[in-house]
Amino acid sequence: MCLASCSNSSSTDELDDNVTIATINSEEVSLERFKVEFKVHKKKFRVQGAGELSAEELIWLKNRALEQIIQNILFRQEAKKNNIGISQEELSEELLKSEVGYLEDSFDKRLEFEGLSRQEWEKGIENNLLINKLINNFVNSKVSVSDDEMLRYFEANEARFHKSEQVRALHIMVETEEEIRQIQKEFRSKQKDFSDLAKEYSLGPEGARGGDLGYFEVGQMPEEFDNVFKLKIDGVSDIIRTPYGFHLFKVVDKIEDRKMSFDESKKQIEQVLLQELQDKAFQKWMVQLKEKSVIDINHEFLEKIS
C-alpha cells in the first residue's frame, strides 16, 4: 500500500471529517478516525506540526497511521469471526495492573500528558488484549522450538552465554552521615555484627533480612556502588553517599565470571528462537489476512491530508 504525494495538499481541518478514506471488508474508515491515529503517530515520532516534515516523511507517516488502522480492523474482524473476545474480568485485571505503582492522581496526569481520555485508554487496553489473544491463537501457539534446535544454537553461539561476576552483599542505608559514622564505629569496635546493625538501623527493605541484597552483577545497582565489586569476601566498603542517603556494604560471597551451561542457557535461547519464528509466522499470517480481504483506499483524500 503506497500513497502518492500531492503538491495541492490542504489543511486536514478543511476536509469533511465524515468522508470515507478507506474501506476494509465493508467497514468504512472516516477521516475523523484517521486524524486520531495520525495524531497519535505524530506524537509518537515527536512531530509537532506538518512544517517539520518533508513531503517524503509526511507520506511515510500517513502510511504508518493508515496501516495501523487497517491492521487493527482486520484483527478485530478476524477475532469476531472466530468468537474470540475479552471478558470484563480480563479487562478489569489488566486495567488494575496498568495503574499499579502510580500515586494518587499521577496516572490521570500521565493520560492527560498523552492526550488520552480514560475511556480511550481503556479501549486501547481492551484492543491490545484482543489482538494478543488472537495472535497467540493463530500464530504463537503454532510455533515451537525443539531441544536439538536450542542445542545447535548454543553450540554456534557459546561465547554469548556467560554469567558476569556476581557478589552477595549486606547493605545498610541511613539518612545522615552522623548515623552512618556511628554505625561504622560500632561495627569496627565489634560491638555488633553487620547483619544485626542492618536490622536495627537500615531504612532499606532488606534491613529486616539483615541487609541481605542477595547476588547482583555490575549494572544492576546504581553506579555509585560499583566499587563493592573490588572488595574481598568479608570486606566492608567505605561510606558511600547517594541521593537516597548514606550506605555501607559488606561482601559475604563472590561468584566469578563464568560460561553458562546449556541447561542454564535454555530459557534464554528458547526466547530468542521463539521470537524469530513468531515474527516470521506473524508476517506470513498478516499477508494471508490481507490477501483474503477487500481493502479500498481513497487516495485522493489521503493526498490532501497534511
**Domain-by-domain residue ranges, the chain?**
12-140+282-304, 141-159+263-276, 162-259
Spatial contact of 32 and 45, defined as CB atoms under 8 Å apart? no
Cα 172–177–178 angle (5° rounding)?
Answer: 105
Check whether 11 has a pLDDT greater than 60.
no
Selecting from 3.40.190.10, 3.10.50.40, 3.20.20.100, 3.50.50.60, what CATH number does the domain 162-259 have?
3.10.50.40
Q: Mention the CATH class of domain 12-140+282-304.
A: mainly alpha
0.85 cut: is pTM over it?
Answer: no
Rounded distance between C-alpha atoms, residue 109 and residue 124, angstroms = 17
Q: What is residue 48's predicted lDDT score, i.e. its pLDDT?
A: 57
Q: Please check whether residue 158 is in contact with residue 222, taking contact to mean a CB–CB distance below 8 angstroms.
A: no
Q: Is the pLDDT of residue 299 over 70?
A: yes
Is 3's pLDDT higher than 50?
no
On the question of a common fold for 12-140+282-304 and 162-259, the answer reads: no
pLDDT higher at 162 or 65 = 65
- 174-223 pLDDT, tens digit each: 999 999 999 999 999 887 899 999 999 998 888 889 999 999 988 788 88
- Per-residue exposure over 261-277, b if at least 16 CB sit within 10 Å of its own CB, e if not: eeeebbeebbeebeeeb
| 99-150 tens-digit pLDDT | 887 777 788 887 887 777 889 899 989 999 999 999 999 999 999 999 999 9
pLDDT score of 257? 83
Nearest partner of 35 among 146, 133, 115, 137, judged by Cα: 115
> What pLDDT score does 132 carry?
94
| Biggest CA-to-CA distance, the chain | 84
